[in-house]
Amino acid sequence: MTETVIEVAGLQKRYGDFTAVDGISFEVRKGEVFALLGTNGAGKTTTIEILEGYLKPSGGIAKVFGHDPADRGPLRSRIGLVLQESGLFGDLTAAETVTAWRRFTTNARSVDEALELVGLSDQARTRVKQMSGGERRKLDIALATLGRPKLLFLDEPTTGLDPEARRRIRDLVTDLSDHGTTVLLTTHYLEEAQELASRVAIMDKGRVVVHGTMAEVLGRGTGRVAFELPEGVTTEDLEIGGPDVLTVTGRRCLIATAEPETAAHTVLGWAARRGVRVTGLDVRQATLEEIFLDVAETRGQEVRA
C-alpha cells in the first residue's frame, strides 16, 4: 500500500465563533501532487498552515509523516514550504540568499543549480529589494526546493508569475513529483491544478465538497463531442441517448455527455458503417474550471467523487 504522507480527519479550526475549517478529511499519498482548491476564504491556507505546524487545530486529526505537524524536529528536514507571504532579506542578493539558506539545509543543491531550476540565473547578483514580485516568488520556490524535500507545500506558488515562469515552475513540480516528492498545492489557476495534480479536493466555506482522483472529479462534469454532419446523412440512426444530449445547429453537431470518449466512439462507428467521413471532430472532457464554477454556484452538500 502506498504510504500516507498527510492524514487529515475531521479537522476543525475555529476563530472565536467563526468556523474556518469545518471537519474536513483527506489523505495525501507518497509521490502524488494533491491540489487543495477552493473559493476565496474557503479555508485552504488555514488547513495548510495547520499542516505546516503554524496553527493549532481546534479539533480533529492532522498528521504529517505520522507526526503532529507542530512537532517540528522530525519534520523540518523533510519539508519545503512556499508560503503566500515570503520573508526574504532585501539587502541580500539572490545568490547570497541561497548561500545563507544552504547552511541549514541538508543535502542542498548548489547555488547555481537552485537558481537555474527556477530561471533566476541572470538575477544571481540582484538584491532581493530590487527584484520584481515574480522574481521574488521564484526565489521562494528555489529556497523551498533547495533540500530536495520529501514533502513540498506550495501555497499559490505561481501567483504573479508570467506564463513562461509558470511553465518552468510546473515543470519543476512535475520533476520533483517524478522523483518521489509529495506536493500539496493550492492555486487559483485551475488549468495548472488540472495539469499537475493526480488527486484533488475542492473546499467551500470550510468544508470539502468535492474529493477524488482528477479523473473522478472531471468525470462529474459534462464533456462534449462536436463534429460536422457529413453531407447527405442525418443523425437519426446515431444512437445517442440516455443522459447524453445531441444538439444540431446547421451541420454542426454537439453531444453533451459525461463520457465523451464513448460518445466519440459511437459517432466514429456510425460514420464507418455509413461510409462517410466525420470532420471537425472535437472531443473534450469537462474542465476543472467548470467543476469549480459548479461548486461555487451550487454551494451544495459534501459530495465524494
Question: Interface with ligand ATP by CB under 6 A: which residues?
Answer: 15, 18, 20, 38, 40-46
From the CB of 64, what's the least distance to ligand ATP, in Å?
Answer: 18
**Contact of 11 with 50, CB cutoff 8 Å:** yes
From the CB of 202, what's the least distance to ligand ATP, in Å?
Answer: 11
What are the grid coordinates assigned to 176, written together? Answer: 520533483
Select 15 or 89, whichever has its Cβ closest to ligand ATP.
15
From the CB of 45, what's the least distance to ligand ATP, in Å?
Answer: 3
Residue that is written with C-alpha cell 459525461 in the block: 258
**Contact of 286 with 222, CB cutoff 8 Å:** yes
Select 37 or 114, whichever has its Cβ closest to ligand ATP.
37
From the CB of 58, what's the least distance to ligand ATP, in Å?
Answer: 12
Of 105, 82, 78, 59, which Cα lies nearest the Cα of 6? 78
From the CB of 15, what's the least distance to ligand ATP, in Å?
Answer: 3
Select 144 or 238, whichever has its Cβ closest to ligand ATP.
144
Select 18 or 249, whichever has its Cβ closest to ligand ATP.
18
Of 185, 195, 171, which Cα lies nearest the Cα of 116? 171
**Contact of 192 with 47, CB cutoff 8 Å:** no
Select 33 or 42, whichever has its Cβ closest to ligand ATP.
42
Q: Which amino acid is at 223?
A: G
What are the grid coordinates assigned to 92, written together? Answer: 541580500
CA 286 to chain centre: 16
